[in-house]
């Protein structure tokens, strides 16, 4: 929070120096010092945003958020642009497909990723591997850390006090860290363990069976480097992803059955087994800048009516952090992280997720060619099976991600439930039931999330199913409305 009068960061609604009310939602932005060749994280209303704290020179606005580009990704982009090692001494940063080389913007068109000659790129990566060192990168990161030390001090101590405050109502044996192997939960695990000085907390890793090999390697390293942490692995051992795909078709953006089946379901089972009826507190790495729907959620939320997990409170210590803050913390504190980020992935969920962007698809083609072609072959044969005229184009242009119904899928012919589309709302279906809705009916939806009657609009008999465990995907809700209760 920001005190306008004192022009400084404060931790509460009232400034501890002057007593005036503080401002909450002043965004942080990224400025560039061309002398130090480094990004500076500054409040949009901070008068000093135009001056570099290191050299005193003028800064200029760069963008709203940014991530570092590691030497591995830099080389791949250079190969794509046909200029290997050209930017090896530069300070290189990116947001989405926009790259900044020493502060100069370069957009990489998506077509360049889609049309890339990947075998040539792989050859180039091997050819320059030895030459492509971290010496220049490390030098630029040192400057970045020095230039943003105030920001680090603020976000770190603010997160510490949030964590201590939130955890004070729970015994430490009922405190859980949700750990995905991604950068956000890596930071949360580190913050919580340090703030509470409890290295032996329970960490739950949901292995979706669709993780990057680098994520699994990182989790193994994490276990080795944090011998006191109790690491529980949640995994669906009954189902095989490809078998389910054969049966009901691949997941699509609007039909991400894989999340509940391979991620949230197994995590819920582990938590229920460990804690049964106990009140628990889960820290997780959700951030509001990840998606629009997340921005509406609170930093701490509890739902005592929940059926799925009895009495759970979830808390997000880095809710307000930007990507650049997460990297500032990881690189300053020198904590180990998932190597997939070095290659250029900006999120490390399941490698076949229909929510992954074109760049992630391109990276998988380069770094996981076997898995990539197995998955593509499956998608092409699926497209053929459901009668798509150009199955390869349907797959390569990403149209499979937009699939909505079960047309052509064998399981859909064996109809147990019929629905009509709702005309008033997108993505809503109308089912006619032959019995009144009871609590046991709602309990059938427990695998999808927390069944909450409290959150729904009572007047129309609305019941909402919420899933608070997503680390990579948008929070999902299913709403039931019944006019005859
Ligand atoms: Zn400077």
DSSP string for residues in 22-60: PB--PPEEEEEETTTTEEEEEETT-GGGGB-TTT--BEE
- By three-state DSSP, how is residue 465 classified? strand
pLDDT band at residue 261 using 50, 70 and 90 as cut-offs: confident
Residues, Cβ < 5 Å to ion ligand 1: 33, 35-36, 52, 54-55, 57
The pLDDT of residue 299 is 80
How confident is the model over 423-470, as pLDDT tens digits? 555 556 666 666 677 777 777 777 776 777 666 666 556 677 766 554
Q: How far is the CA of 54 from the centre of ligand 1 (A)?
A: 5
Q: How far is the CA of 97 from the centre of ligand 1 (A)?
A: 26
- Average pLDDT over the chain reads 84
Give the DSSP letter of residue 365: H
From CA 463, how far away is CA 453, in angstroms rounded? 5
Q: In terms of Cα–Cα distance, which of 152, 249, 248, 167 is closest to 201? A: 167
pLDDT of 307 over the 50 cut: no
pLDDT band at residue 186 using 50, 70 and 90 as cut-offs: very high
Q: How far is the CA of 30 from the centre of ligand 1 (A)?
A: 13
Q: How far is the CA of 67 from the centre of ligand 1 (A)?
A: 19
Q: How far is the CA of 130 from the centre of ligand 1 (A)?
A: 31
Q: How far is the CA of 29 from the centre of ligand 1 (A)?
A: 16
How confident is the model over 366-417, as pLDDT tens digits? 999 999 999 999 999 999 988 889 999 988 888 888 887 665 565 555 555 5
The pLDDT of residue 444 is 76
Q: How far is the CA of 105 from the centre of ligand 1 (A)?
A: 19
Mean pLDDT value of segment 146-158: 95
- The answer to whether 465 and 452 are in contact (CB under 8 A) is yes
pLDDT band at residue 476 using 50, 70 and 90 as cut-offs: very low
What is the separation of C-alpha 401 from the centre of its chain, rounded to a whole number of angstroms?
19
- The answer to whether 259 and 476 are in contact (CB under 8 A) is yes
- The answer to whether 80 and 86 are in contact (CB under 8 A) is no
Q: How far is the CA of 55 from the centre of ligand 1 (A)?
A: 4
The pLDDT of residue 297 is 65
Q: In terms of Cα–Cα distance, which of 71, 65, 17 is closest to 41? A: 65
The pLDDT of residue 305 is 38
Q: How far is the CA of 68 from the centre of ligand 1 (A)?
A: 18
pLDDT of 177 over the 50 cut: yes
Mean pLDDT value of segment 152-158: 95
Q: Which of 26-30, 181-185, 345-349, 429-433 has the highest mean pLDDT?
A: 181-185
Q: Delineate the domains of the chain, giving CATH numbers in brackets.
A: 2-147 (no CATH), 149-343 (3.40.50.620)
Q: How many CA atoms lie within 13 A of 266 on its CB side?
A: 20
The pLDDT of residue 25 is 62
Global pTM reads 0.79
The pLDDT of residue 398 is 85
The pLDDT of residue 84 is 96
**Residue 401: how many CB atoms within 10 A of its CB?**
18
pLDDT band at residue 107 using 50, 70 and 90 as cut-offs: very high
Q: How far is the CA of 50 from the centre of ligand 1 (A)?
A: 10
The pLDDT of residue 12 is 66
Q: How far is the CA of 85 from the centre of ligand 1 (A)?
A: 25
């Amino acid at each position: 929070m920001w005190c306008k009068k004192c022009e400084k960061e404060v931790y509460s609604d009232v400034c501890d120096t002057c007593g005036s009310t503080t401002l909450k939602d002043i965004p942080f932005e990224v400025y560039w010092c061309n002398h130090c060749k480094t990004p500076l994280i500054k409040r949009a209303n901070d008068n000093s945003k135009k001056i570099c704290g290191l050299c005193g020179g003028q800064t200029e606005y760069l963008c709203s958020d940014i991530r570092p580009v590691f030497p591995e990704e830099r080389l791949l982009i250079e190969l794509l642009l046909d200029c290997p090692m050209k930017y090896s001494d530069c300070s290189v940063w990116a947001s989405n497909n926009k790259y900044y080389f020493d502060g100069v913007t370069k957009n990489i068109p998506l077509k360049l990723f889609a049309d890339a000659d990947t075998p040539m790129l792989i050859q180039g990566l091997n050819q320059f591997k030895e030459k492509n060192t971290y010496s220049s990168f490390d030098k630029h990161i040192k400057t970045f850390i020095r230039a943003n030390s105030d920001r680090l001090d603020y976000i770190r101590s603010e997160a510490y006090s949030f964590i201590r405050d939130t955890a004070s109502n729970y015994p430490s044996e009922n405190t859980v860290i949700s750990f995905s192997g991604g950068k956000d939960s890596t930071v949360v695990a580190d913050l919580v363990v340090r703030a509470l000085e409890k290295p032996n907390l329970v960490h739950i890793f949901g292995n979706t069976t669709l993780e990057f090999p680098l994520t699994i390697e990182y989790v193994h390293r994490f276990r080795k480097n944090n011998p006191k942490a109790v690491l529980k692995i949640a995994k669906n051992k009954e189902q095989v992803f490809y078998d389910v795909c054969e049966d009901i078709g691949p997941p699509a953006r609007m039909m991400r059955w894989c999340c509940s089946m391979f991620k949230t379901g197994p995590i819920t089972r582990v938590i229920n087994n460990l804690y049964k009826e106990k009140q628990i507190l889960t820290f997780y790495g959700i951030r509001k800048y990840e998606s629009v729907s997340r921005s509406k959620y609170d930093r701490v939320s509890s739902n005592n009516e929940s059926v799925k997990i009895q009495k759970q409170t979830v808390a997000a210590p880095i809710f307000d952090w930007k990507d650049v803050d997460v990297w500032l913390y990881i690189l300053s504190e020198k904590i180990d992280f998932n190597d997939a980020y070095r290659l250029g992935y900006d999120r490390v969920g399941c490698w076949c997720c229909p929510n992954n962007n074109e760049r992630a698809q391109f990276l998988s083609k380069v770094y996981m060619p076997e898995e990539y072609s197995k998955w593509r072959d499956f998608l092409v044969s699926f497209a053929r099976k459901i009668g798509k005229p150009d199955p390869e184009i349907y797959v390569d242009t990403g149209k499979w991600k937009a699939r909505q119904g079960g047309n052509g899928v064998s399981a859909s012919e064996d109809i147990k439930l019929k629905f009509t589309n709702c005309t008033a709302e997108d993505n809503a279906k109308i089912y006619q039931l032959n019995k009144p809705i009871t609590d046991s009916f709602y309990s059938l939806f427990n695998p999808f999330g927390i069944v909450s009657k409290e959150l729904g609009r009572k007047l129309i008999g609305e019941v909402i199913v919420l899933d608070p465990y997503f680390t990579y995907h948008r929070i999902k809700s299913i709403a039931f409305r019944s006019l005859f209760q």
